[in-house]
Amino acid sequence: MKFVVAWLVVGAFSFDTEHRTDVVEAFSFEESVLGTEDESSLHLLQTSAKNAASRRARAELEEDDATSNSKQWVAMRASQWHGKHKQNKRVHTCTKVFSGDHTLAWPPPILAKTSDNKFCENQGVKDLGLYQHGIPLFSNTTFMPVFSSEPFVKRNEEIKRAVIYLHGHQSNANRYFCDALGLPKLIGEERSTLTIVPWFAEDQVASWQWEGVDTLMNRTGPNAKPQMSFCWSRAKDWITGGNAEAHKMLTAFDVMDQMVKALRGEYAKTVFPNLQRVTLVGFSGGCQLLSRWAVLSDVATPKPGLVNVTVVAGDCGSYLYLDKTRPKKSCRGKKDTGIHHWCNKFKKPHTRANFNRFKYGLSFNEKEVRENHYLMAFAANNSESMHTTLRDFHLKDVRFIFGGNDVCSCNWKHFHNKAGCFPKKHHKKFYRVFCRKNKHGGKRHGIPCCDQGLNHNLASMWQGTNRLQRGLNYMSHLAHFNKRLGIKYKPQFKIAKHAFHDSFTVLRSAEASELIFDKVNWAYIHSKDWPYLPGQRPKKMCKRKKHLIRG
C-alpha cells in the first residue's frame, strides 16, 4: 500500500503545535520509504538469524574484505555527492548501507577511522558493537541509531541520570561515545549514569545491521519488520534541526523531542524506574542543534510529574537570538576580550543583510520552513507558539560552558590571534579537517592559524568575532531580553579557563562536570586540564578550589 501525502500551507503558515503533533503521530511510512519489501526483508532477517551466531563472529567475517568494500563505498558516495541532475546542480542524498540483498562496507567509513578506533581503545572500549542500540520512533516505523552504555530492554534500577551527548559536524558519534563513557567514572557515577550518543548521519542503516540480529529480536520480537534509520543528506541539515532525508515531514528537532519523551516516558516507567533527570550535552556543531532545540521545543519546559530536563550547550559557533537586536560594535572587538567580557549595549543593525534569518534569529521565509517543517508552528504572524516560546524560555534549565581560550578567528581582517591559535599539529590532514580556511590569520613560525571552522558570515559576525565572545554576548542578550519582558533572569554558564575548542578538554573540566553532573570533577588540574587518576586530588587544586567554580 502506498500513501500520497499532500501538504497545504495556507496564508502565512497558520499551523499550531497541537495540530502538528497529531499529524506526526498519525504519520505512517510506505514500504518503499523503509527501503525494502516485506518478504525479502523477513527472509533476509531469518537467514541472518540462522547464520550469525554472534555479533563478534559477523564482525570477524566482514573484517577480511573491509578494504575492498571501503573502496566500493567511497566510489558510491562520490557518485551521489557529485552526481548532477538536469539543471547541473549537485544532488545530496543519504548513503544506504543496506542495498538489495547485500551489505556494503561495515562499519561505515565515518565510524571506521583508525584514529577514532585507537582513541576508543585507549579509553578502554574495544568492541563498540556491544553498545549499539536503537531507539524506535514514531510508532516503531523507524529508529534512531545510538551508542548506549545500557540496553533499553533490561530493567536497571540503579540508573538515576541519563546523559545524551550530541556529536559535532563530523558525525563521529563513536569517538564522542568513547569519550563520554569515561566522564561519569571520573566522579564515581558510572553505575547510576546512562550515557547515550545518537548518530546524526548521512548514512542510512537497517536495524538488524546496527543492533545485530539477536539484540533486535530481543527488542522487537522474532516476527518484526526491519526498520530503517533516520539520516540527513548534509551535516548542515541536522545541525539546524532540518528535515530528514527519507522522512521529509520529520526533522532533527522531532527526533530530539521523541528521544527525550521516550526516556522520561516509556523507558522511565519500565526500564529505568528510578530515573530522575535527562541531561543533553552538545559541543560545537552539536551545541548549535541543542541550543536552538532548547529555545523552540516545549519538551525542555519543566512539567509536573515528568523527569526533569537539563541542557548543557558548549562552544557554539553561533546562537539563536530572541529578537532583532545585536551587540554594538564596542562589544565585538577584533581581539580576545577575555573571560569577564559582558555586553550592555544592543541595537538593531542598520543593514540590508538578512542577519535575523533562522539559525541566527527568528525570522522565517518560505524556503526555511520548507526545509524545516518544525518551524511551521512559529512562522505565522502573531504565532501563539512563538509568544509561548519567548515567554517560557526562562523556565527551562539551560546551561552553557565556554572554553576560555576559544578565541581564534583566522578569517576576519585585522583580528589579533594569540599564540594558541597556531597549533603544533599543522600537518595537512589535521589542517584540512579542523582548520579549513585561513584568509587573514597568517602564520607563526611557519604554522598556519587555525580557528577550527568558525563561521565568518555577516550574520555570525554580528554576534561577535570569536566563539568565546559570541557566547558571552549571547549570555548578555538573554539577560537583556528577559529584563525587557520584566523577567529577572540570570544565565547559567561557566568557563573552562584554559580550554581551547576541544570537546575532550572542555567536557573533562571541573566546570563542565558541575554543569552536567552537579558535582565537581577533581580528576583534572585546572591550570593545564590534564588528567589525574580518579581519587588522586592534587594538593594545589584543593587550595585553589574557589577558582574552579566560576561562572
User: Quick one: pLDDT at residue 266?
Assistant: 85
User: Quick one: pLDDT at residue 18?
Assistant: 42
What DSSP string runs through 402-435?
EETT----TTSTT----GGGS-S--SHHHIIIII
pLDDT, average across residues 121-135: 91
Helix ranges restricted to H, 342-402: 366-371, 376-379, 384-392
User: Quick one: pLDDT at residue 262?
Assistant: 93
User: Quick one: pLDDT at residue 429?
Assistant: 64
User: Quick one: pLDDT at residue 92?
Assistant: 57
Give residue 218's pLDDT band: very low, low, confident or very high (50, 70, 90). Answer: low
On whether the CB atoms of residues 329 and 427 are closer than 8 A, the answer is: no
Give residue 3's pLDDT band: very low, low, confident or very high (50, 70, 90). Answer: very low
Residue 290 has pLDDT above 90, yes or no: yes
Residue 286 has pLDDT above 60, yes or no: yes
- Using the structure block, give the residue that is written with the C-alpha cell 541566527: 360
User: Quick one: pLDDT at residue 223?
Assistant: 60
Give residue 10's pLDDT band: very low, low, confident or very high (50, 70, 90). Answer: very low
Cell of 2: 502506498
Hey, which CATH number is domain 17-222+229-408+454-548, 3.10.20.30, 3.40.50.1820, 1.20.1560.10, 3.30.70.1560? 3.40.50.1820
Residue 115 has pLDDT above 70, yes or no: yes
Across 404-417, b (16+ Cβ under 10 Å) vs e yields bbbbbbbbbeebeb
Residue 480 has pLDDT above 80, yes or no: yes
Residue 181 has pLDDT above 60, yes or no: yes
CA geometry: angle 173, 525, 531, nearest 5 deg = 45
Cell of 226: 526491519
Choice between 330 and 29, residue whose per-residue pLDDT is larger = 330
pLDDT in tens, 328-339: 999 999 999 999
Going from N- to C-terminal start, the domains of the chain cover 17-222+229-408+454-548, 409-453
Cell of 19: 495540530
Residue 453 DSSP class: S
User: Quick one: pLDDT at residue 140?
Assistant: 73
**Which residue from 42, 15, 28, 72 is spatially nearest to 372, judged by alpha carbons?**
15
User: Quick one: pLDDT at residue 315?
Assistant: 94
- Using the structure block, give the residue that is written with the C-alpha cell 523577567: 487
pLDDT in tens, 52-92: 434 443 344 344 434 444 444 444 444 444 443 333 444 45
The end-to-end CA distance of the chain, in Å, is 57
What is the DSSP pairing of strand 193-198 with strand 142-148?
antiparallel
User: Quick one: pLDDT at residue 221?
Assistant: 60
pLDDT in tens, 234-260: 888 999 999 998 777 899 999 999 999
pLDDT, average across residues 455-467: 93
Residue 491 has pLDDT above 50, yes or no: yes
pLDDT in tens, 349-379: 988 778 999 999 999 989 999 999 999 989 8
Stretch among 9-23, 87-101, 343-357, 385-399 having the lowest mean pLDDT: 9-23
User: Quick one: pLDDT at residue 525?
Assistant: 42
Choice between 139 and 28, residue whose per-residue pLDDT is larger = 139
Please give the share of the chain, as a percent, with pLDDT higher than 70: 72
Residue 345 has pLDDT above 70, yes or no: yes
Q: Give the distance, in angstroms, between the CA of residue 12 and the centroid of all CA atoms in the same chain.
A: 30
Choice between 520 and 509, residue whose per-residue pLDDT is larger = 509
